[in-house]
Amino acid sequence: MKSIRSFSITFQAILFSFLLLLFCNTAPTQTIDCSGSSKSGNYQVYLDDLSYANVSLSNDGQLQNLMKRLSFKLASNVHALTLESTPIPLTVAYCEGRKPRGEGDFSENLVDALDDNNVILELWGQLDATTQNGSISNRKASICYVLVPVLLDEFKNPHKPGLQFALYPKDANIQSGELINLLEESIELEAFVAVGIGVNLLKNKKYDEAMKYLCKAQIILRQQHTGIAEVKQNALNDYIKQAVHKTVIDARSDPNYTGSLIDLVDENNPCP
């Protein structure tokens, strides 16, 4: 028995080492191949595939319908984001076959590569349900978001309070499953994209524009219930607040900056 356990531990260790090696070898060149991905420096939103939490759910007709509805809703919502006038145009790339499982799928190298490609947000959906005695109930859809510039910032500044991973599930019960009620008017999407663009602009010392997007995100998240777990939303709010403050401080200490943030803005609470 002892030898079996020992073998099992050894095997796990070898497997782990192998995976780690594999991961380390591939990490520096990690990329995601997405249809419509832009190389022209546009801001990008990556829309991944929707998936089932387990294969047995894929035969459920109601979940199949929910998947199609969500797919429509996500695609039409991200399209709406591209209409806003942004400093750099925002485009959507469809990442066929890509189904991240969660935080573990976002290494620093990958997030760095995504950020280099101006990817602001990556999102995907997962459908789940309760299976008991062969019957399926409590059907749900979760939408997961990764705010790439925020996540990268976190990797680079681990001492920072705030988000550990910008991953937000949102539930939509199919029983009350009016498509129209899912992700209503993409308000959270709008806020997430605004945060991503704001952080990206701050990194590039575009203080005025960074302030615009960070304040927009702050105002939306302050006023709207997004369906994100409260603890996550609070963490994001705190993160944005700090980014706003940093924008003012950085602008004021930048000798090349002569704009409104020097004398016309309240340093402590700038956003209306």
**Site residues (CB under 8 A) for another protein?**
35-36, 42, 65, 68-69, 71-73, 75-77, 79-80, 82-85, 89-92, 94, 178-180, 184-187, 190, 194, 207-209, 211-212, 215-216, 219-220, 223-224, 258-265, 270-272
Instruction: Give the nearer residue to another protein in terms of CB position, either 151 or 174.
Output: 174
Instruction: Give the nearer residue to another protein in terms of CB position, either 135 or 223.
Output: 223
- Minimum separation from the CB atom of position 207 to another protein (A): 8
Instruction: Give the nearer residue to another protein in terms of CB position, either 20 or 75.
Output: 75
- Minimum separation from the CB atom of position 218 to another protein (A): 8
What gap in Å lies between CA 245 and CA 223, rounded to an integer? 20
- Minimum separation from the CB atom of position 168 to another protein (A): 18
Instruction: Give the nearer residue to another protein in terms of CB position, either 44 or 142.
Output: 44
- Minimum separation from the CB atom of position 36 to another protein (A): 6
- Minimum separation from the CB atom of position 156 to another protein (A): 26
Instruction: Give the nearer residue to another protein in terms of CB position, either 73 or 139.
Output: 73
